[in-house]
Amino acid sequence: MTQTTCIICYNKLNYITIRSDYCRFDRDLRWRTGVQLFPVVCESSNNFKVTKEALEEAYSKAQESNIKVKGLLINNPSNPLGTILDKETLKDILRFINDKNIHLVCDEIYAATAFSQPSFISISEVKSEVVGCNDDLVHIVYSLSKDLGFPGFRVGIIYSYNDAVVNIARKMSSFGLVSTQTQRLIASMLLDTIFVEDFIAKSSMRLLQRYGLFTKGLGQVGITTLKSNAGLFIWMDLRRFLENSTFDDELKLWHIIIDKVKLNVSPGCSFHCSEPGWFRVCFANMDDATMKIALRRIRHFVYLQPNKGVEVATKKQYCRTRSKLEISLSFRRLDDFMNSPHSPMSSPMVQRSIMDMSTISLST
C-alpha cells in the first residue's frame, strides 16, 4: 500500500479514504509520501455503508478546502468493520473514480477471510461490468499476512492495470526484496492447491464458529455489534456506556477497559470513526480458553455499570466467576506484600509485568 501510494502521489497530492478505515493508514501512507487523507464519512444509521452521496460529499468538501484529490483508498473486506463491499457498491466506486479521473487503490488483504454470505468480490471482477472504466486508474494491493497467516514473511503484492505503475513498482522493489528462501517456501506452498484450499476452508469455518461464540457472549450482556462476515474483527457498540457522546469520553472508557477490565481493544477514534463509542475487537488471536476469560471480564464490567440496562450481579456471583488470570491474594495481604521494602514486587518493572501478563489482547 505504501509503495503504491508513493508511486501515484510522487508530488504529494491527496487521497480520500473511507471512515472507518484501517488505523495505520495515517502512519503507513502519510509519513513517507507526505499525502493527506480526507475522510469519506460513513454512519451507523446505514451500517457504515459506502454510498454515492458520501463519496460526492467528501470530494466536494475537499474541493471547497482547496484540496486536490489524487485518489480513493478502500479496504475490502473492511478493517475494522469486518464487512464486505457488495457488487453494486464497488460499481458505484468505479463510476465515481472514473467520473473524477482519480486513482483507486483497493486493499484486499483479507480477501480469503470471508466466513459467511455474501462472498467476497474483488474489484477486478467488477471493473469489466462498468462501461467506460479506465483500467489505468485501478490498483490492488494484497499480502499473505492475513489469509495464510504469514505476517512475519512480509510478502506483499501490487496488482495494477497501469503499466507505468507496474514498471516503477518493479524498480522500487529493490528496496524491499523478498529473500530467495522465502520465495521458494511460498512458491512450494502455493503450488499445493489442495493444501491451500483446505487451509482456507478450515480457516473460514473456525472464524465463523469463533465469531458466533463471541457475538453470542456479547449479546448475553446486551452488547450489540455490527453484523459482519469477513476479517478478524468485531465492531462493538459501547455507546451506552459513555457519560457523554464525545471522543474524550470514548478514550476515558477505553482506559477503563485497558486498566481495569484488562482487555486490549481499539477505540473507534483511532480508525477515524465519526461516532464515539465504537470499539474494534479482534476475535481470532486467542484460544478458546482465553476467549471465555475475555467474555467473563466483559460480563463483569457490564454488570458493575449502574443504570445501563443490565441487571447488576451480586457480589457472590462476581466472586464465584472471577477470572483465572487474576491474582488470588486478598487485597489486604497483597497490599502488605507489595508495600514491603523487602518485596521484589515493589519493583516497577515487576509490577508492569504482572499487569501485562493479565491483560488479554483483543487488538492487533
- 207 by Cβ neighbours in 10 Å (0-12 / 13-18 / 19+) ranks as buried
Does the pLDDT value for residue 27 go beyond 70?
no
The phi-psi region of residue 47 (left if phi > 0; otherwise alpha if psi is between -120 and 50; otherwise beta) is left
Q: Which structural domain, as residue segments, surrounds residue 104? A: 2-189
Domain annotation covers residue 273 = yes
Query: Does one domain contain both 170 and 273?
Result: no
What's the pLDDT tens digit per position in 225-275?
999 999 999 999 999 999 999 999 999 999 999 999 999 999 999 888 999
Domain annotation covers residue 352 = yes
High-pLDDT (> 90) share of the chain, %: 59
Query: Does one domain contain both 35 and 169?
Result: yes
Q: In this structure, what is the dihedral angle of CA atoms 8, 11, 16, 22, given to the nearest 10 degrees?
A: 70
* pLDDT score of 16: 59
Q: 182 vs 320, which has greater pLDDT?
A: 182
* pLDDT score of 172: 83
Query: Does one domain contain both 168 and 49?
Result: yes
Q: Tell me the C-alpha distance between 189 and 182, whole Å.
A: 11
Query: Does one domain contain both 185 and 253?
Result: no
Query: Does one domain contain both 287 and 179?
Result: no
Does the pLDDT value for residue 12 go beyond 80?
no
Residue 241: phi, psi to the nearest 5?
Answer: -95, 0
Closest to 4 measured CA to CA, from 94, 107, 102, 146 = 107
How many helices (DSSP H) and strands (DSSP E) are in the chain? 14, 12
What's the pLDDT tens digit per position in 280-318?
999 998 999 999 999 999 999 999 887 555 444 434 444
Listed range (36-40, 130-134, 248-252, 306-310) with the worst mean pLDDT: 306-310
Residues whose CB is less than 8 angstroms from the CB of residue 305 and which lie 6 or more positions away in sequence, other chains included:
241
* pLDDT score of 326: 39
Query: Does one domain contain both 141 and 265?
Result: no
Does the pLDDT value for residue 5 go beyond 60?
no
Q: β-pairing, 263-264 with 156-160?
A: unpaired
Query: Does one domain contain both 166 and 249?
Result: no
Closest to 72 measured CA to CA, from 102, 115, 100, 36 = 102
Query: Does one domain contain both 12 and 131?
Result: yes
Query: Does one domain contain both 263 and 117?
Result: no
Query: What does the block give as the cell for 180?
Result: 530467495
What's the pLDDT tens digit per position in 195-224?
999 999 999 999 999 999 999 999 999 999
Domain annotation covers residue 74 = yes
What's the pLDDT tens digit per position in 138-160?
999 999 889 988 888 888 889 99
- Tell me how far CA of residue 140 lies from CA of 73, 95, 249, 344, in angstroms: 10, 17, 37, 53
Active site residues: 22, 107, 109, 146
Listed range (7-21, 83-97, 167-181, 199-213) with the worst mean pLDDT: 7-21
Query: Does one domain contain both 169 and 255?
Result: no
Domain limit, last residue, from 153, 172, 189: 189
The residue type found at 65 is S
- Residue pointed to by grid coordinates 501512507: 29
Query: Does one domain contain both 168 and 251?
Result: no
Query: Does one domain contain both 50 and 153?
Result: yes
Number of domains in the chain: 2
Geometric angle at alpha carbon 278, from 275 and 284, rounded to 5°: 145
